[in-house]
Amino acid sequence: MNAPDKTQAAQSLEHYWMPYTDNPRFKSDPKMIVGAKDMHYRLADGREVLDGLATLWCVNAGHCRPKIVEAIRRQAGALDFASSFSTGHPLAFQVAERVAALAPEGLDHVFFTNSGSEAVDTVMKMAVGYHRLRGEGARTRFIGREKGYHGVNIGGMSVSGVPVNRKAYGGLLLGGTDHLRHTHDLSTRAFTRGCAATGAELADELEQRIVPLHDASNIAAVIVEPVSGAGGVLVPPQGYLQRLREICTRHGILLIFDEVICGFGRLGTPFASQYFGVTPDMITFAKGVTSGSVPLGGVIVKKEIYDTFMKSAGAGVQFFHGYTYSGHPLACAAALGALDTYAEENLFDRPNQLAKAFEDGVHSFKGSPHVIDCRNLGLIGAIELAARAGAPGARGFEVFEKCWDKGVFVRPVGDNVAFCPPLICEKKHLDQMFGTVAEVLRTVA
């Protein structure tokens, strides 16, 4: 068969409306990935590109790992689909049990979705439903945080705090939300390694401004990412999450950790909750649970919340919510393959083993052209570049494109360049990733 010529290729690219993409720009110069293995993509022209972002913060076990591939293959031939609406299949129960075993003590029931966005909208319904069943039906307000990212569905978008993701959808945003200040402060905390020693008091805004303004009796939950990712990789100050926990507990407000990025080993523990020693009431997860191989997400809740639904909602369906593909057999098979791979290769410990090399690599950019901040924790980090006058994001995007051309994928988040490699990465991959970015920075205006 003849290879398609350029015109055919251009025609066939037209019909796909790509998400979060400058469509014409991609279609005029496609970055087409046709294969992947371990730490690398293979491109249509045969070149290899090092994956420095676990694709979208998800491929924690690396690409096309044998246990995951085999589990999906086997499952596709054994049970392609079974619904979890009043019927079940064993794999969903196995994955729930395994995820609960990894979760912090007391969070032991798991509800499945297909994505992080669905997990966030699900957790919001759970929070409101839980309060209502306990006779506190006025608790419907949600508190997110500036620069937070909780997906793209209506609830998640409303509690998110990334302006570009909100500005076009004014009337769709839920009214009953408010936002804590973000913790990013270049004037006092730029170039901090790990968690900053100052800034815990930013959590006090919850008690000093938000609770008095709305009254705790109207607030269902606070939702934050322990380390925010898609908002630019923001690491919480020491003690900040503890303080949020204490305030929430004092006021009967649920604390939700959105661990869609942090979960499944990113910080060197199964969940960030364990890294920080702070136990929320509910955790949302996705991405790393299958190492990105098949879409799966979910919510882990503490027993008391599950029990409240079971006891108080009465006979019949206790929670009027669920997705056709909640607990899909292929996704569950992929999750079991991923969880086995993580356990057998002790991958959740990799961020601890690589911590110093990764941190040193991220902070090696201090003093590089345009760099105004470097941030890191576990195996997630970012450098922040000064924005070009009148063109926010342009410099970050240029770094991404030039790195790609040199065989390294790092992600621009506005003018931040994010690093989040698969947990299987080795020092040589870090050296290549940071070395390429350093080289590129010297060429960027």
Ligand X SMILES: Cc1ncc(COP(=O)(O)O)c(C=O)c1O
* Contact flag: residue 225 with ligand X (CB under 6 A): yes
Among 49, 53, 120, 143, binds ligand X (CB under 6 A): 120
Burial of 90 (0-12, 13-18, 19+ CB in 10 A): exposed
Window 17-36: residues binding ligand X (CB under 6 A):
none
In 272-423, where does DSSP find H-type helix?
272-276, 303-312, 329-344, 350-363, 394-405
Considering beta carbons, is residue 91 or 261 the nearer one to ligand X?
A: 261
Do the bridges between strand 297-302 and strand 107-113 make them parallel or antiparallel, or are there none, so unpaired? antiparallel
| 159/362 with CB nearer ligand X | 159
Among 200, 261, 272, 374, binds ligand X (CB under 6 A): 261
| Residue 200 zone, left/alpha/beta (φ > 0; ψ -120 to 50; rest) | alpha
For the bound state, the minimum distance from the C-beta of residue 290 to ligand X, rounded and expressed in Å, comes to 11
Residue closest to ligand X (Cβ): 116
> Which residue lies nearer to ligand X by CB, 151 or 327?
151
Given the complex with ligand X, which of 371 and 380 has the nearer CB atom? 380
Contact between 291 and ligand X by CB under 6 A: the answer reads no
Choice between 230 and 440, CB closer to ligand X: 230
Name the one range near ligand X by CB under 6 A: 113-121, 265-273, 350-358, 413-421: 113-121
Give the nearest distance from C-beta 355 to ligand X in angstroms: 22
Task: Identify the residue among 55, 75, 84, 117 touching ligand X (CB under 6 A).
Answer: 117
Contact 395, 370 (CB under 8 A): yes
Instruction: Choose which of 41, 142, 149, 325 interacts with ligand X (CB under 6 A).
Output: 149
**What separation in angstroms does the CA of 249 have from each of 256, 279, 304, 349, 445?**
12, 11, 14, 31, 49
**Interface residue with ligand X, options 126, 227, 230, 408 (CB under 6 A):** 230
**Burial of 167: CB neighbours in 10 Å, binned 0-12, 13-18, 19+:** exposed
Check if the beta carbon of residue 374 is closer than 8 Å to that of residue 362: yes
Question: β-strand 297-302 against 371-377: which pairing, if any?
Answer: unpaired
Nearer to ligand X, 157 or 441 (CB): 157
Taking the complex as a whole, how short is the minimal distance between the CB of residue 76 and ligand X, in angstroms? Answer: 22
Q: Is 289 in the site for ligand X (CB under 6 A)?
A: no
CB of 150 vs ligand X, minimal distance in Å: 5
Of 151, 155, 351, 381, which lies in the binding site for ligand X, with binding defined by CB under 6 A?
151
Q: Does 133 bind ligand X (CB under 6 A)?
A: no
- Answer for which of 150, 179, 350, 363 binds ligand X (CB under 6 A) is 150
Binders of ligand X among residues 171 to 200 (CB under 6 A) are none
Query: Exposed e or buried b for every residue in 432-441, given b needs 16+ CB within 10 A?
Result: bbbebbeebb
Residue 231 within binding range of ligand X, rule CB under 6 A: no
Residue 442 burial (10 A CB sphere; 0-12, 13-18, 19+): exposed
CB nearer to ligand X: give 258 or 359: 258
Question: In the set 51, 258, 359, 398, which binds ligand X (CB under 6 A)?
Answer: 258
Give the separation between CA 422 and CA 427, rounded to whole angstroms: 12
Closest among 360, 373, 354, 366 to 421, alpha carbons compared = 354
Q: How far is CA 268 from CA 349, 354, 442, in A?
A: 5, 10, 32
Q: Are 96 and 334 in contact (CB under 8 A)?
A: no
Report if residue 115 touches ligand X, rule: CB under 6 A.
Answer: yes
Candidates 233, 306, 276; CA nearest to 52 is 233
Q: Does the footprint of ligand X cover residue 285 (CB under 6 A)?
A: no
Strand partners, 141: 219
Q: Could you tell me the smallest distance in angstroms from the CB atom of residue 231 to ligand X?
A: 9
Q: How far is the CB of 74 from ligand X (least distance, A)?
A: 25
The Cα–Cα gap between 375 and 90 comes to 42
User: Would you tell me which residues interact with ligand X (CB under 6 A)?
Assistant: 115-117, 120, 149-151, 225, 229-230, 258, 260-261, 286, 297
